[in-house]
Structures are given as structure tokens and as C-alpha cells.
């Protein structure tokens, strides 16, 4: 984690030096998107080549998908009121009936753009799954540190983008304590989603659903904690559910930024807003929301080790 944060910080100063270069922002944006595509391809390769994970999908995949999707959507729509509470949404305005058609015409290209962005992202991940399952590429791409190097390149590009617009960091200072509304509402929405998943999955207890949902994309740590306290089967569900949450953020961000708004991807990413999901959020939402994603991710990175034991011990 420290190395990844160092890569992020290392890019800020060169970005600041290039802030007056009009071509720099476009180049950094394209480089960031290329690293996002590379990361999705490598993630697909790793998941596609993991036979144990594929076997687990037949047994626990549906439960994990249900919990992951319910908790993610709970967080996404839980933070929806924060757009206005934090002053991050456009002011409402009255529109004449003749303006409605023009607004609709403007929204349709944006929707098509969001759908196209999601389809392109999904295609890279799908290609990685197919190539990984076929195992036609060199072994080091599946078992090596390829994803780690791509992640560090992504965060370096993110740092460059932040350096180009250091004013984005002012959003946390200007919001003050109100900035904690984002993780708070995200947490409440996630637990509401976990309760919905528990109602749909009669074979799981409430505390199990809450514990799995409380991983907030931090699948490596959360799966270990849940396995130790709730058993290996529940740990496997936690791993898959939180992998699904991270993948959902990576794939759906172009749409989430339209519905319900740019805080949606921030809440959806959870702890992954610190690393994997940060570049795609900045690319589609802007540096200001990237800073919020980084803050939100750090909060949940620190909270997850406490939330999982709390939910497994406090709820029946």
C-alpha cells in the first residue's frame, strides 16, 4: 500500500510543472485510460486462469453476486443526497416546456457515451477472461506481478493528473467535516443493501450478509477476516462479493456518473478508491471527485478491520 501511495505522490510534482502545457492534460488522460484497459485485461487474465475461483462460482457465486450488488447499489444510492448537501450538484433551475426537448437531446449523446465507455471497458475485461481461461499467454502474466506494475503505472498517471489541477485538493478543505458524510452515507446504504440481500438469501444469517458487505472492495483483507471468524465458506463468499464490487465500479463508472451522479462511483469503489478504481473515477468524474474517492477509500481501508468483527459479533 505504501509503495502504491508513493507512486501516486511521485507523479504530482511533475504534473504541477506541466500545468501550463495545454497538451499535457490530454496526454495524461489518454495514458490513464490505457493503463485502465491494461489493468482490466490483467484482472481478467488472473480470474480466468483461477480454476478454484471458477469452481466456486457454481456453488457460492450467486450468493456473492447478490450481496455484492445489493451492498454496492445501497452505497451508490445512499450517497445520492450528499450531492446537494455538499453542494456538489448543479443548482436546480426552472425550464420552459420548449427546453425539455433540448435537454433530452443533450442527454441522449451523454447516455450513449456512457454506455459506449462501459462496453469498451467490459470488452477488455472479457478478453482477459477468455485469454486467461484458454491459458495461451506466458505464465508470468497469470501468476507474476503484472497487475502490480500496471497498478503502479495507473497511480503514477493519476498523480500527474492531480498535479495538473492541485486545486482539486481544496474540495476536502472546503467541505470540512461534511466530507465524512460520504463514507457515513455509503456505510448506511451498504448495510441497508446487506439487509435486502439477507431477505433474498434465506440460507445466510443477517450478520453474515453484513460482514460480507462490510468488506467495501477490500477483498484481500476482508476474506481473511471473514474466514477466520465465520468459516472458509463465508470467506469465499466475501472474496467473490468484494471482487464483484470492485469490478462493478470499474465497468459501470461511465453510467454511474450519469445516474445517480459523480459521487456514485466514489461510494461504489469503497476501499478500492485508494488504488484500482481511482484512475477510472478521475477519468470519468474529474480530479475533484478523485480526491473524494481517495479520502473515502482511506477511511474504509482503516474501517474494514473493525467493521467485520463488529458485524459478526454484534448481530445475531
Neighbours of 288 (CB within 10 A): 18
Least confident of 9-23, 79-93, 97-111, 157-171: 97-111
Alpha-carbon span 260 to 226, nearest angstrom: 31
Query: What distances in angstroms separate CA 210 from CA 68, 70, 71, 240, one per listed residue?
Result: 11, 11, 9, 15
- Contact 124/40 with Cβ under 8 angstroms? yes
What would the pLDDT profile of 119-135 be if each residue is shown by its tens digit?
777 788 788 878 887 87
What would the pLDDT profile of 77-91 be if each residue is shown by its tens digit?
999 888 787 776 533
- Contact 165/287 with Cβ under 8 angstroms? yes
Helix axes of 206-213 and 287-314: crossing angle, nearest 10 degrees = 150
φ, ψ of residue 306 to 5 degrees: the values are -95, -35
Alpha-carbon span 254 to 240, nearest angstrom: 23
What would the pLDDT profile of 206-259 be if each residue is shown by its tens digit?
999 999 999 998 877 787 788 778 887 787 788 888 888 988 998 888 888 887
The pLDDT of residue 92: 37
φ, ψ of residue 90 to 5 degrees: the values are -65, 140
Alpha-carbon span 126 to 48, nearest angstrom: 9
- Contact 181/188 with Cβ under 8 angstroms? no
Q: For 256-315, give the DSSP string.
A: HTTTT-THHHHHHHGGGGGTTTHHHHHHHH-HHHHHHHHHHHHHHHHHHHHHHHHHHHH-
What would the pLDDT profile of 263-302 be if each residue is shown by its tens digit?
999 999 998 888 788 888 888 888 888 889 988 988 898 8
Give the residue with greater pLDDT, 9 vs 69. Answer: 69
Alpha-carbon span 316 to 301, nearest angstrom: 25
pLDDT for 143 beyond 50: yes
Give the residue with greater pLDDT, 155 vs 52. Answer: 155
Alpha-carbon span 254 to 40, nearest angstrom: 15
Amino acid at each position: 500500500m505504501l509503495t502504491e501511495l508513493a507512486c501516486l505522490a511521485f507523479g504530482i510534482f511533475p504534473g504541477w510543472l506541466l500545468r501550463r502545457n495545454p497538451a499535457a492534460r490530454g496526454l495524461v488522460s489518454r495514458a490513464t485510460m490505457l493503463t485502465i484497459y491494461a489493468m482490466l485485461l490483467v484482472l481478467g487474465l488472473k480470474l480466468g486462469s483461477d480454476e478454484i475461483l471458477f469452481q466456486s462460482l457454481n456453488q457460492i457465486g450467486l450468493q456473492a453476486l447478490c450481496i455484492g450488488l445489493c451492498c454496492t447499489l445501497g452505497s451508490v444510492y445512499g450517497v445520492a443526497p450528499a450531492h446537494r448537501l455538499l453542494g456538489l450538484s448543479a443548482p436546480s433551475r426552472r425550464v420552459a416546456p420548449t427546453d425539455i426537448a433540448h435537454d433530452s437531446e443533450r442527454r441522449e449523446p451523454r447516455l450513449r457515451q456512457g454506455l459506449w465507455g462501459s462496453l469498451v471497458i467490459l470488452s477488455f475485461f472479457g478478453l482477459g477472461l477468455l485469454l486467461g481461461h484458454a491459458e495461451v499467454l506466458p505464465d508470468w502474466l497469470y501468476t507474476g506481478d503484472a497487475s502490480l506494475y500496471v497498478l503502479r503505472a495507473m497511480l503514477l498517471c493519476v498523480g500527474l493528473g492531480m498535479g495538473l489541477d492541485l486545486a482539486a485538493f481544496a474540495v476536502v478543505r472546503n467541505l470540512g467535516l461534511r466530507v465524512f458524510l460520504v463514507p457515513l452515507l455509503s456505510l448506511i446504504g451498504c448495510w441497508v443493501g446487506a439487509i435486502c440481500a439477507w431477505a433474498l438469501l434465506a440460507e445466510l444469517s443477517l450478520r453474515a450478509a453484513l460482514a460480507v458487505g462490510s468488506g467495501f472492495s477490500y477483498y484481500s483483507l476482508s476474506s481473511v477476516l471473514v474466514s477466520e471468524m465465520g468459516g472458509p465458506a463465508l470467506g469465499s463468499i466475501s472474496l467473490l462479493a468484494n471482487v464483484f464490487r470492485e469490478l462493478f465500479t470499474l465497468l459501470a463508472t461511465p453510467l454511474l456518473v450519469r445516474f445517480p451522479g459523480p459521487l456514485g462511483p466514489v461510494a461504489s469503489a469503497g476501499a478500492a478508491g485508494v488504488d484500482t478504481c481511482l484512475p477510472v473515477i478521475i477519468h470519468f468524474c474529474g480530479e475533484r471527485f478523485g480526491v473524494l474517492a481517495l479520502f473515502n477509500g482511506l477511511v474504509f481501508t482503516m474501517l474494514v478491520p473493525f467493521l467485520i468483527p463488529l458485524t459478526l459479533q454484534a448481530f445475531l
